[in-house]
Amino acid sequence: MMIRTLFRTGGSLLQHSRRTVPRLWVSPLQQRWASSLPMNTVVLFVPQQEAWVVERMGRFHRILEPGLNFLIPVLDRIRYVQSLKEIVIDVPEQSAVSLDNVTLQIDGVLYLRILDPFKASYGVEDPEYAVTQLAQTTMRSELGKLTLDKVFRERESLNANIVHSINQASDEWGIRCLRYEIKDIHVPPRVKESMQMQVEAERKKRATVLESEGTRESAINVAEGRKQAQILASEGEKAEQINKAAGEAQAVIAKAEAKAKAIRVLSDALAEQNGNAAASLSVAEQYVSAFSNLAKESNTVLLPTKTGDISSMVTQAMTIYGTLAKASPKIPPAEVEECEDISNQPESK
């Protein structure tokens, strides 16, 4: 019964002690609620993710682990209560000067965690306030190394440099800075206007470049189209000429074959009975036709010596034909054609 009564009394006193006035941890501008120092009730229950630093007769004794713990009254005293959770600290806004002498108003958020409760309790008076001041000074020094344009472009590298600098100094305090994030960067109004003008000029430049590139691409496409059209037109003209030449060649061959066939037929006809009479009639008809067309095709008119004596012309042609026929029984087609051409030629006056 006595142990149970002690447990109940200790628990009630602990709860009452944890509902006390808030403790100011960082600065007058930032108040954070935290557990106040609990009383030594012999039996204590330490919450999870908290470390209670115990002093015995004013000297560090041990750190209570989460769970059930026993202390000696009067001799033992809980001196510090450290939270092992990740702590978020709002870094107040401050002014900093960049490398190109531009004054900036910048603030951020700091994330840290206590790794060693002993160092955090005895290494520095107020660890969170010390880390906050260190973050502000480091931020100012890092911003002084960059120009205004690089501040906006290299925020990640700036955050990493600040974290690295804080961790180098906070190892002795048992605190580990996890990350630092810049929230807002405020520039003077005139600088902001000049930056806006610079952005507009950059956008106009991009628009002009894109327009010129579009014009160039359009001209290239038009030239390529004309080139392809000329190539296709020349290929079409070439194919047309080839087809035309092939057609003319085939026509010449067809005409030659037809003429050769006509000559063979004429030769066979002349070899038959009354072939001479038929040849005389054909010569007479061609003579009359040639004589009627003398003055139609040119200004030069050739007249035979005896224009009305058709019979003498026919007789003369047949005499030539008979002479050739006696010399060669079978007249080749070429000679027959020659003979026919000679018969068609009138005598010059």
Q: What is the pLDDT of residue 34?
A: 43
Q: What is the pLDDT of residue 284?
A: 66
User: What are the CA-CA distances from residue 123 to residues 45, 105, 114, 304 (Å)?
Assistant: 26, 32, 12, 145
In contact, 174 and 113? CB cutoff 8 Å: no
Instruction: Report how far residue 289's alpha carbon sits from residue 298's, in angstroms, rounded to the nearest whole number.
Output: 16
Instruction: Report how far residue 46's alpha carbon sits from residue 149's, in angstroms, rounded to the nearest whole number.
Output: 51
Instruction: Report how far residue 232's alpha carbon sits from residue 226's, in angstroms, rounded to the nearest whole number.
Output: 10
Instruction: Report how far residue 345's alpha carbon sits from residue 304's, in angstroms, rounded to the nearest whole number.
Output: 10
CATH of 85-187, one of 1.10.3210.10, 3.40.718.10, 3.40.50.620, 3.30.479.30: 3.30.479.30
Query: Would you list the DSSP string of 116-155?
Result: -HHHHHHS-SSHHHHHHHHHHHHHHHHHTTS-HHHHHH-H
Q: What is the pLDDT of residue 128?
A: 82
Count of CB atoms situated within 10 Å of the CB of 177: 23
pLDDT (tens digit, 0 to 9) for every residue of the chain, 349 residues total? 444 444 444 444 444 444 333 333 444 433 443 446 888 888 989 899 888 999 999 889 999 988 898 889 889 899 988 888 888 988 888 888 888 888 888 888 999 898 889 988 888 888 888 888 888 888 888 888 888 888 888 888 888 888 988 888 888 888 888 888 888 888 888 887 887 788 888 888 989 999 999 999 999 999 999 999 999 999 988 998 999 898 888 989 988 888 888 877 777 777 776 666 666 666 666 766 766 666 565 566 555 666 556 666 667 666 766 665 565 554 454 544 554 454 444 444 3
Domain ranges across the chain: 37-84, 85-187, 188-269
Q: What is the pLDDT of residue 231?
A: 92
Instruction: Report how far residue 56's alpha carbon sits from residue 78's, in angstroms, rounded to the nearest whole number.
Output: 9
Q: Which two tokens stand for residue 90?
A: 């709002």
